[in-house]
Structure 1
Amino acid sequence: MVRPVESRVDSVMRTIHERLAARSLVPGERLPSIRQLAEQLHLSKTTVVEAYDRLTADGVIEARRGSGFYVCGHPPPLSLSDVGPALDRSIDPLWISRQSLEAAEDTLKPGCGWLPQSWLPDTEIRRALRQIAREPHSSLLEYGRPYGHPALREQLARRLAEHGVAVGAQQIVLTDSGTQAIDLICRFLLEPGDKVLVDDPGYFNFQALLRAHRVQVLGVPYTPSGPDIEALAGILEQQRPRLYITNSAFHNPTGAVLSPLVAHRLLKLAEAHDLLIVEDDIFADFERENAPRLSAFDGLERVIQVGSFSKTLSASVRCGYIAARPDWCEQLVDLKLATSFGNSPFSAELLHELLRKGSYRRHVEGMRGRLADAMGETLVQLRRLGIQPWLEPRGGIFVWATLPDGLDAAEVSRAALAEGVVLAPGNVFSLSQSCGGFLRFNVAQCPPRVFEVLERAMARTLL
């Protein structure tokens, strides 16, 4: 479909609307002068005058004689789709999430980020539910403790120790999910306008969540061994970001694992530039061998670790955690109470029961074997189609791969969606929009029909 060419006047109006949506312009604030905005946007004064006149006629701004132009009224409700550049819906991350969540039962979802229901321990969860229901002192009716279920926090402390993270239960705060954990941390550490680093490519929901906090999101190129350290050093020197959010084990979307050397250099840079780090460890239980952890090397001084069990146990059992410095945990608990009045004690008790009885451990061991088989088969099928993995993952659920012949992943994804297959095109994950030839595949969601549809979609795109 051919899109209409945007005029220069429309471009100026869109820029103002985006600034309003992002709250970088607020009611009563003076806009840049006509000359200033013309210089900023490299446009003529006449173009800016016409744009300001139209915005005035629309009631968006007002002219004050001898003073300039000012924002009118109240700001519009926050719309994430209006914050940042306009994206084609096929590479809009929130749209991809909606497609995966709302898809019909027969839709195939190799672009989603979770395991099929048939891979999850349904029988064990039901057995644990029955056990909890029989307990006279279960948490079926309670709000729960401010920090969360004490016995579960003890269990999580022991699990973190297996990854080299020395932490006591008093340094663990339970949340309802990994996403809620990061949201609380952003509320705690960030102010609107702060700069935050994410990987490029990196998990798309980090970008969406940060836009909701009205911060400036910066991308650092990601390599097979971690963030590009030279690029990171330049960004830290020039931009002075407050926070960096990343994965260390089975990075999303690339499947890469952080190397010890890169981890060491990253922490040295963080110390030199007063950078705080959030390490999202949601894929920890997919590992057969432990990858380096920033939180282990750092001792939770400037690194905060978050995690959850949504990917490995059940998306409906909402239970995540934050591991951080004790003084920060105290303040995070207050913030949790202020915004959600706690987390689900029922989910926490269910998870505690599964961990205590060994059901979860047995499930994870079997899941790793299935994933290894699925990874091998997926790599074979992709290479048969001329799709080359960026690297061969050591485990996990994702393969990050390049399409052949300069094919555009968004176009291929649109063609596949017409046949009931939801793909994840590369630019969904790229802040710089530099991954147009990549797709992310979830190996657990790749039955043979996926590759049949993918082959036809690629062929149609080449026509």
Structure 2
Amino acid sequence: MDLGIDRQALVPVVQQIISAVAQWIRNSGASPGTRLPSIRQVALDNLLSQSSVIEAFERMVAQGLLVSKHGSGFVVAQPSVLHEGQWYEGAEREWGAFVDNPMGELKLGCGWLPDAWRESDDISYAIREVTRTDTAGLFNYSTPLGLLALREQLLKRLSQIHIATHLDRILTTAGASHAQDLLIRTLLKAGDCVVVETPGYGNLYRQLAFHGVQLLQVPRTQGGPDLSALEALLQRHRPKCLFINSLYHNPTGTSLNRTVAERLLELAHRENFLIIEEDVFGDLQHASCTRLSALPHDDRVIYVASFSKTLSSALRVGFLSASTVIIAQLASLKTLTGFGTSRFAEAVVTTLLANGTYRKWVQRLRKRLRTQMAATLQVLEDEEWEVFAKPAGGMFLWARPGVGDRSRVQACARRLGVLLSPGALFSPTGEPSDWLRINVAYAADQRALALFRAMGPARSTSTILKTTSV
């Protein structure tokens, strides 16, 4: 087994062994139970220490890629965790790689800000304030709807973006994913069908599939869902809901235009379905935009947002706004399944909202992301990458290189120490794709720039082969 180890690469040898063996399993179509060469043989063939091979194989056992058989060495695990088409398990593995990243690879495709961009002093101050002035927040449950002081701040913020609501129509959650889960369990049952955008947010697909909900795919265009495709679906099906990102869509970075928004609301009324509008990146807006929740909708739209992407994913504070009937149902389920959300975390976010710290933080963040978005777009244009759209803001680009197949791009990224989010993770069916989600907050790193250059068509064949040799 020739692993092609590159000792000049930025990626540690153990991680190169893991990546190369995993790729060999995928490419060879090795069946479950296939025995790998012995540790001694792999070490000899690749001029490696046996300890490095042992460490790599043991990590692959922990990841579910290999199984250790007493007396037989290491064998291939079940295919559900190996093949690119198995999007559910593959997505979990990708998520684990981004969160648990001991090798220090560049998380070019992740969905959050770099640690170096965070302003921890402001959060530390808010935590001290809460522990000093609100001791109840340290010991007590929150109320079913969420901390009143936080909902009052949220009401002000929603008013500023022209979303008309009331305190009794706002429910706090442990992030947007929690809000989506509550909505799915309250509004849907196994066998129901819903419309989702593709590409779209993979975790939403998994949540819906877990509950036995049928997914109807509608392509995402630069202005929102493809209306022709949506209307064709509506002629054949009666979906209960449409799930949509209006601003800075994940992963394409596109935003909803007014014409599409108004037509979506017309269709929701005519065909009697609800629209779940997720707006977790909405605070990054710096120009005029269109939200469905800000248009007249007669309670057809449920608004979901969160502070996890912009402030802190550790605090896990999100919220939603809906009709009083739906809010009452959600509050009952929230209390039943978790006795409410964290009063302490909600008090910290309340403090940051009330003293203006959060507002000033997102202003700085918008400016920084806008600068980095322009710089990344210029680099990709210079290297002749194809870009789905040029977003007006946010942190995501949806792009693919002008040359090189998926395996070549992955090999090059692995050599450079870059973690990618391939297009299959953003498809309801896990369909392979050349498109990649790029988080521009990470794109100024030299490893990212090297990847963009290596996959540009101006590079000679020999340069590309050298770059991707592992």
What is the TM-score when the length of structure 1 is the normalising length?
0.79
Equivalent-residue separation in structure 1 for 2:333 and 2:429 (angstroms) = 33
Matched ranges for 1:381-460 at <5 A: 381-405=379-403, 407-409=404-406, 411-431=408-428, 436-446=433-443, 447-456=445-454, 459-460=464-465
Task: Using the TM superposition, give the Cα deviation of residue 165 of structure 1 relative to its aligned residue in structure 2, in angstroms.
Answer: 0.9
Structure 2 residue runs without a partner (length 5+): 1-23, 32-78, 457-463
Q: In the alignment, does 2:265 pair up with 1:267?
A: yes
d(CA) in 1 for partners of 2:229, 2:432: 18
Opposite residue 419 of structure 1, the aligned amino acid is L
Are the counterparts in 1 of residues 402 and 455 from structure 2 also a CA contact under 8 Å?
no
Q: 1:260 to 1:115 in 2, by over 3 A?
A: same
**Shift in Å, 1:437:** 2.1
Shift of 1:169: 1.1
> Which residue is equivalent to 1:358?
356
State the SS of the aligned residue for 1:205: helix
1:171 to 159, 162, 169: 169
Contact 1:387 1:402 in 2 (8 A): yes
Q: What SS is found at the alignment partner of 2:218?
A: strand
Corresponding residue for 2:302? 304
What is the 5 A alignment of 1:12-411? 87=85, 92-104=90-102, 106-299=104-297, 301-405=299-403, 407-409=404-406, 411=408
Tell me how far apart the structure 2 counterparts of residues 373 and 125 of structure 1 sit (CA, whole Å).
Answer: 25
Shift of 1:366: 0.7
The residue type equivalent to 1:346 in the other structure is F
The offset of 1:378, in angstroms, is 1.0
Deviation string for 1:118-164 (max 9, x for gaps)? 21220000011111111154411001111101011011111111222
Task: Specify whether residues 114 and 4 from structure 1 end up closer, same or farther in structure 2 by C-alpha distance, changes over 3 A only.
Answer: closer
Amino acid of the residue matched to residue 208 of structure 1? R
Mapped to 1, the partners of 2:89 and 2:252 lie a distance apart of: 17
2:143, 2:332 → 1: CA distance?
12
Q: Distance in 1 between matches of 2:315 and 2:298?
A: 27
Instruction: Give the TM-score of the pair, scaled to structure 2.
Output: 0.77
Deviation at 1:100, TM superposition (A): 0.7
The answer as to whether partners of 1:371 and 1:395 remain within 8 angstroms in 2 is yes
Evaluate the alpha carbon distance shift between residue 347 and residue 421 of structure 1 in structure 2; reply closer, same or farther with a 3 A threshold: same
Rounded Cα–Cα distance in structure 1 between residues aligned with 2:89 and 2:274: 29
Contact 1:255 1:398 in 2 (8 A): yes
Distance 1:274 1:86, change over 3 A: farther
Looking at structure 2, the residues matched to 300 and 274 of structure 1 have their Cα atoms a distance apart, in angstroms, of 12
Unaligned runs of 5+ in 1: 7-80
Comparing 233-242 and 427-436, the one that deviates more: 427-436
Residue 289 of structure 1 deviates from its aligned partner by 2.0
Distance 2:150 2:103 in 1: 34
Identity among equivalent pairs (%): 37
Q: Which residue identity does 1:157 align to in structure 2?
A: L
**1:236 Cα deviation after fit:** 1.2
- Change beyond 3 A, Cα 1:180–1:384: same
Question: CA deviation digits over 1:3-46, x for unaligned, max 9?
Answer: 4599xxxxxxxxxxxxxxxxxxxxxxxxxxxxxxxxxxxxxxxx
- Write the deviation string for residues 93-131 of structure 1: whole angstroms up to 9, x where unpaired: 222211111112621011000001121220000011111
One-letter identity of the residue aligned with 1:421:
V
CA deviation vs aligned residue, 1:35-81 (integer Å, no higher than 9, x gap): xxxxxxxxxxxxxxxxxxxxxxxxxxxxxxxxxxxxxxxxxxxxxx9
Q: CA deviation at 1:454?
A: 4.6
CA shift at 1:207, angstroms?
0.8
Q: Measured at CA, do residues 236 and 90 of structure 1 come closer, stay the same or move farther in structure 2, by a change above 3 Å?
A: closer
On the 8 A contact 2:384/2:401 being kept in 1, the answer is yes
> SS in structure 1 opposite 2:172?
strand
Letter in 1 for 2:410: S
Please list the CA deviations of residues 209-253 of structure 1 after superposition, one character each: whole Å capped at 9, or x if unmatched. Answer: 111111111210111000000100011111221111110011111
Q: Please state how far the C-alpha of 1:391 moved relative to its aligned partner.
A: 1.2
2:247–2:256: 8 Å Cα contact kept in structure 1?
A: yes
Contact in 2 for aligned 1:243/1:276 (Cα 8 Å): yes
Calculate the aligned-residue CA RMSD, in Å: 2.4
